[in-house]
Amino acid sequence: MTPESPTLSRRGLFRLAAGAGGLALLAGLAGCAPRSTAPIASGAVDLSFWTHDDAYVKFFTDAVPLAEKASPFAYDIHVTKAGAADIVTKLIAQAVAGTGTPDVVGLEIGAFSRTLRGNIAPELLVDLSDAVAPFGDDLIAARRAPFSKDGKLYALDSDTPMTVYYHRADEFERLGLPGTFETWDDFLAAGEKLAAAEGVSLGAIATSDPGGTVQTFHVHLLQRGADLFDESGRPTIDTPEAVETLTMLSAGVQSGAIATVSDMYGPGMQSGLKSGKILGVNMPSWYSTYGIQPSAPEQAGAWRIAPLPRFASGGGRTGAGGGTGFAALRNKPATEAGVQLITSTYLDKEQQVARYKAMGYLPTLRSVYESQELIALEDEFFGGQRLFEVYRDIIDEAPAVHQSENKPIMDTVLSGHLLRAYRGQVSPAEALADAAHDFRGQARG
């Protein structure tokens, strides 16, 4: 005899499903409940560390003994590596979830600007102003600005990425060029002749992806003494300095003195360097490690660096580009341990020397530029040149970079108008005025 199936009304079934759903929801919410946030004051600490760069993993891992000496913590660092932009996306997602945020996070300068929108930075990141106060003016002010908002410092920069003029000394000698140009006018005059006679360029700028296009303009603009934004994050692109910068770059592109490549790290740039068609480039200090050496290792010994040519009407001999700030997350058990890891490893003079020697990142403490150990360093890729002598010479001219929550908007808006100017479709002044107009539209007021 087959037992009769129990009957169940449709309403009963819905009640059953609703009950099960409710239980599941409660169980889920219980799982999401915030864990204990009792701060760890000393002793062993498991520290979650996020970065986009392998070099930082090695640096912080190696620096643990120093951090343990300078703090009451015994660190066990757990590393998560992700793309620079993905780190901010994931950070925010985990913050919304209420769990899984890191204790220390490395924020690439372009990605950091996203945390300036709304209250993301103040809500998530520790204000490091007090922690760096003892260092006073020795902590280079130009590198505090990019990671500050409303007077609060949310991350410590790992680098002072000054721009220099990288150039092929062997080709310069063959062509009878000087090692440095006094002004950009001199540079353009020599470049125009070379482009016509030899088919080579003295510089290169990116023209394909918006971020790269704006970056190569931005480094020149900073050198001229201007910026994309002011201290309050308001756009400042429709200025005489910006027009002058764009006029110089447009003239260079149109005469062939400056080559255009899709991006500064891509195959086009690599081909240009390898074939000897691009003989120089104005890029930050880290570009040697990430651009020139991987692209043309066979040219070791042929390259040199020099301060940038000046703009005749003002500015310094260097600009700035890039940077990565390290921040500690607020309201976590390991918050204090995170702050102490960052400050003890980043603001220690010996560590700054070690960081430059290992990674090529320039110190952020002004006093380290007097280090005889660094000044005496000779770089084989640059024919034994003492690079630090050049950096020490220009460090006091390093410009501050001001951030804005609207930097990503600026990148996309400005890049198109820069290209119009480079192509000669509009004058530099018109291009920048149009960019300012479009920016206001896209920034929604």
Partner 1 sequence: MMSTHTELTVLPKNLRRRHGGRNLRGGAAPYLFIAPFYLLYALFMIVPVFAAIVLSTTEWVGIGAPTFIGFDNYLDLARDTSFGGALVNSGIYTLIAVIIVVPVSLLVAQGLNAQGLKFRDAFRVAYFVPMVISPIVIALIFSLILDRDYGLLNASLHALFGLPNVDWLGDPTIAKFAIGFVLLWRTVGYLTIFFLAALQNVPKELYEAAALDGAGRWRTFTTVTLPSIRPVAAFVVVTSFISAAQLFDEPYLLTKGGPGESTLSVAMFIFRAAFERQQFGYAAAAGVVLFAVVFIVSQALNRILGIGRDQ
Residue ranges that bind partner 1, judged by CB under 8 A: 5-10, 13, 16-17, 85, 89, 92-93, 95-96, 114, 117-120, 123-124, 207-211, 213, 259-262, 266-268, 271-272, 275, 277, 405-406, 408-409, 412-413, 415-417, 419-420, 438, 441-442, 444
Could you give the CA distance from residue 379 to residue 15 in angstroms, rounded to a whole number? 75
257 C-beta neighbours (distance < 10 Å), count = 26
Residue placing its CB nearer to partner 1 in the complex, 387 or 432 = 432
Could you give the CA distance from residue 87 to residue 317 in angstroms, rounded to a whole number? 34
Residue placing its CB nearer to partner 1 in the complex, 293 or 412 = 412
3-class secondary structure, 328: strand
9 C-beta neighbours (distance < 10 Å), count = 8
CB of 201 to partner 1, least distance (A): 9
CB of 208 to partner 1, least distance (A): 5
CB of 423 to partner 1, least distance (A): 9
CB of 246 to partner 1, least distance (A): 15
Could you give the CA distance from residue 237 to residue 418 in angstroms, rounded to a whole number? 11
Q: How far is CA 50 from the centre of its chain?
A: 16
By the 8 A CB rule, do 219 and 231 touch?
Answer: no
Residue placing its CB nearer to partner 1 in the complex, 281 or 395 = 281
Helices (H), 256-382: 267-274, 287, 293-295, 335-346, 349-359, 372-375
Could you give the CA distance from residue 287 to residue 5 in angstroms, rounded to a whole number? 75
CB of 22 to partner 1, least distance (A): 14
Residue placing its CB nearer to partner 1 in the complex, 110 or 322 = 110
Residue placing its CB nearer to partner 1 in the complex, 95 or 433 = 95
Residue placing its CB nearer to partner 1 in the complex, 260 or 324 = 260
Could you give the CA distance from residue 77 to residue 58 in angstroms, rounded to a whole number? 11
CB of 150 to partner 1, least distance (A): 16
